[in-house]
Amino acid sequence: MIPTKYIFVTGGVASSLGKGIISASLAKLLQARGYMVTIQKLDPYINVDPGTLNPYEHGECYVTEDGAETDLDLGHYERFLGIPTSQANNVTTGRIYQSVINKERRGDYLGKTVQVIPHITDEIKRRVKLLGGRNKYDFVITEIGGTVGDIESLPYVEAVRQLKWELGDQQVLNIHLTLVPYLQSSGELKTKPTQHSVKMLLETGVQPNILVLRTSHELSEELRKKVALFCNVEPDSVIQSIDVSTIYEVPLLMQQQGLDATVLRKMGMEVTGEPELKPWKDFLQKLQHPRFTTRIALVGKYVELPDAYISINESFKHAGAMNDCRVEVTYLHSEQIDESNYKGLLKGFNGILVAPGFGDRGIEGKILAARYARENNIPFLGICLGLQCAVVEFARHVAGLDKAHSTEMALKTPDPVIDLMEAQKGITEKGGTMRLGAYPCVIRKDTKTFEAYGTVEVSERHRHRYEFNNKYLEAFEKLGMIATGTNPETSLVEIMEIPAHKWFVGVQFHPEYSSTVLKPHPLFVAFIKATLTKEK
Ligand code: GLN
């Protein structure tokens, strides 16, 4: 086993250039060459984790199997690599400071003054090495959030500098991603911001080894040479990342320019053969040349920011490709759906998905969407709050419990069909206190749920405080909505289904967190399939 190699991906010039996708693409290429790879994200903000952040602030909160609420980039890592990440894969400044302060309170620093250097930087290095030190991975790719030059990124860049110094260039490599803007008026690509950004890195003592330039236009050979010369890197270490229609093309574009081979060579490793990318290319072929199209309404309240539902979106792509089908997703704002317009707004879709969420804003719109799907035999997938809405809707319009609700929205409802979990009562802190992470679920045979999974025991990831109130289960089952998935230890209802409907499934967990390119989630696959079939 080679000692773990560390690759740091930093960003300059602007944020949102796709560091996560570049990291995941490189990881995919190394994995496809047979190496064990993992990816980590270091986020420079003070929140301990993004769990308490509004999705409008930071997009979706992704949840790992071990119950960590993390940055959405971890979703990309899992979707690309097909291996689970964990709490150790996402570390924020808040978490770093929390550990250092806890150590200080315990007296671990033996009376020393606790400072950013060396104590914070040591803790950053420890968190990076924690992933590498288990002889599990050949490569740990660490993406540093934010932009080089930000005050809050400084300790991270300093930690990279120290690690490079300690372990040397063959064990620690820096890839810097920048933007090369295109000036419409003169028809030119400009490299000056890249040069400045590299200078900024150099000021902190880090010489990047490879530059990835995000661009809307092809970079000429001449331009690459110029960047190489002024930024002090080898010409073959200037790689372009051109805008593409799907993120899943990026690994192939990186491979065509030899990113993986360059990394291996620079880290003193032998470059033999090519990465095995056939399954990936097959997926891409299906994604880009589908035979069918299906139209899905995604009903949620964070629809202005598609990043809020990024895992659901990607799950549709994986499941669509599996069904040879393009999934056209239309976002419907649940706050804008009401009694007067819901039939018109929801008409014509092949399937309806009601998204996860919190609080009562837009809740009646979601309940109406579930009603429309149920009454019109339209395939329906309700996720977390989406399941809870379907349950409330069924209670009100099938079971005749007019005032039924979730106690999250109506504390005094006479029929709390969705209620706070026993274990949640008395919890007042918000951070990391929900029912989080993977729990087992047993599937009832001879149901559409079972047909989708093809197995009785599954494990799914959660992020919720409320649950189906089992007092109503018998009545619901008699009326035609049955529990098809339950937690074997607590009997908590995990999945509800209407067997008489074409395909109506609601899940308390989040299937979207575990759908990957090469292993789409079975419920998404079955949902899309149901939207394509005509027969009942
Ligand atoms: N607000 C609901 C709960 O806490 C649903 C959560 C979700 O959709 N992730 O149970």
In the structure encoding, which two tokens stand for residue 235, read together?
Answer: 């010409």
Write down the pTM of the prediction. Answer: 0.94
* DSSP β-ladder status, 493-497 and 482-486: antiparallel
Cα 436 from chain centre:
15
Task: Say which amino acid occupies 142.
Answer: T
Percent of the chain with pLDDT over 70: 99
Q: How many residues does the chain have?
A: 536
Mean of the per-residue pLDDT values for the chain? 95
Would you state the pLDDT for residue 2? 77
User: Per residue in 420-435, pLDDT tens?
Assistant: 998 888 888 888 889 9
Is 305 in contact with 504 (CB distance < 8 Å)? no
DSSP string, 374-435: HHTT--EEEETHHHHHHHHHHHHHTS--TT-EETTT-TT-S-EEEEE-GGGTT----TT-SE
| Backbone phi, psi, residue 290, to 5° | -75, 155
Q: Comparing C-alpha atoms, which of 418, 421, 376, 379 is closest to residue 401?
A: 418
Q: Confirm or reject: Cβ of 509 under 6 Å from ligand 1.
A: no
Would you state the pLDDT for residue 132? 82
Q: Confirm or reject: Cβ of 51 under 6 Å from ligand 1.
A: no
Is 418 in contact with 406 (CB distance < 8 Å)? yes
| Nearest ligand 1 atom to alpha carbon 434 | 4
User: Per residue in 365-404, pLDDT tens?
Assistant: 999 999 999 999 999 999 999 999 999 999 999 999 999 9
Would you state the pLDDT for residue 530? 97
Cβ atoms within 10 Å, residue 216: 11
Would you state the pLDDT for residue 343? 96
Would you state the pLDDT for residue 53? 83
| Nearest ligand 1 atom to alpha carbon 418 | 10
User: Per residue in 120-138, pLDDT tens?
Assistant: 999 999 999 998 876 789 9
Would you state the pLDDT for residue 15? 86
Question: What residues are annotated to the active site?
Answer: 384, 510, 512
**C-alpha 39 – ligand 1 centre gap (Å):** 28
pLDDT under 70: residue ranges of the chain = 1, 134, 535-536
